[in-house]
Amino acid sequence: MSTPKKIPKKYQPKGFEILHDDLDIIVGNKSPGILTVAAKWERENTVHGLLNQFVRKGNPRSTKVVHVVHRLDQATSGVLVFAKTEEVMNKLKDNWKSFNKTYYAIVHGKLEKKSGTIQSYLSEDEDYVVHSSQDSDQGKLAITEYTVLKEIDKFSLLKINLLTGKKNQIRVHLSEQGHAIVGDTKYGRPQSPFKNLFLHSAELEINHPHSGKRISFKARVPAYFKNLIEFEY
């Protein structure tokens, strides 16, 4: 597989730094604040919408589209992959559980157990709030593995291995441990002095849908992570 050409900065979609682009997939680093896909309150300015324009390369007659494989919350930054055909999308979705998804999170306080697994059943209510339960009838199984990498006075940096990918999973799991993610006004502290959510999709390791080769994509963390906790991310 040939190495994809570097995309000039002026063609990069705003809010999505393209890391890799080939015939099957397009991978990038999503900025915090931009939606992955359209929502009731925002139809146009989404990564999905921007990438549809990107693959059409200014041709108004083009019907080219990219296909959504997975999502990141609006406030979450990091690695996102899109498929260029429906076939590739289905292939990636079918194998999603076998891929490695690594996140960084900075949380309030210090965890008693420096590594562990959080497991519960998650369900979403009509207000789009996700609830956690130990009752298997109350939602879908969600499993989050974490390791504490560094602690400072009031905060801890965690590396997270996402074993299942449910909506708001990491945020809900850490919140119910009493260690909400810094800047999480939905599941943490409603009033936060931090403008950003300290949750970042740092690395995604997949099998390439065409070659089958295992490949890894890394997205650099936003500057505000380093400003809060210095670390070799």
Q: Is the pLDDT of residue 150 over 60?
A: yes
pTM of the model: 0.92
What tokens does 196 get? 């950003």
- Write down the catalytic residue from 21, 22, 24, 73: 73
Q: Hey, what are 58's tokens?
A: 């200014």
- Does 8 score more than 80 pLDDT? no
CA distance 14 to 202: 19
Mean pLDDT of 46-62: 87
Contacts of 30 (CB under 8 A, 6+ apart): 15, 16, 36, 47, 72, 76, 77, 78, 79, 80, 201, 219
Distance from C-alpha of 79 to C-alpha of 101, rounded to nearest angstrom: 9
Q: What does the pLDDT look like over 152-193, one tens digit per residue?
A: 999 999 999 999 989 999 999 999 999 999 999 999 988 889
Q: In this model, does residue 133 exceed pLDDT 70?
A: yes
**Catalytic residue flag (residue 22):** no
Q: What is the mean pLDDT of residues 112-129?
A: 94
Phi and psi at 88, nearest 5°, equal -65, -40
Position 211 pLDDT exceeds 50: yes
Predicted pLDDT at 1? 47
Listed range (35-39, 92-96, 148-152) with the worst mean pLDDT = 35-39
**CA-wise closest residue to 10 among 49, 54, 44:** 54
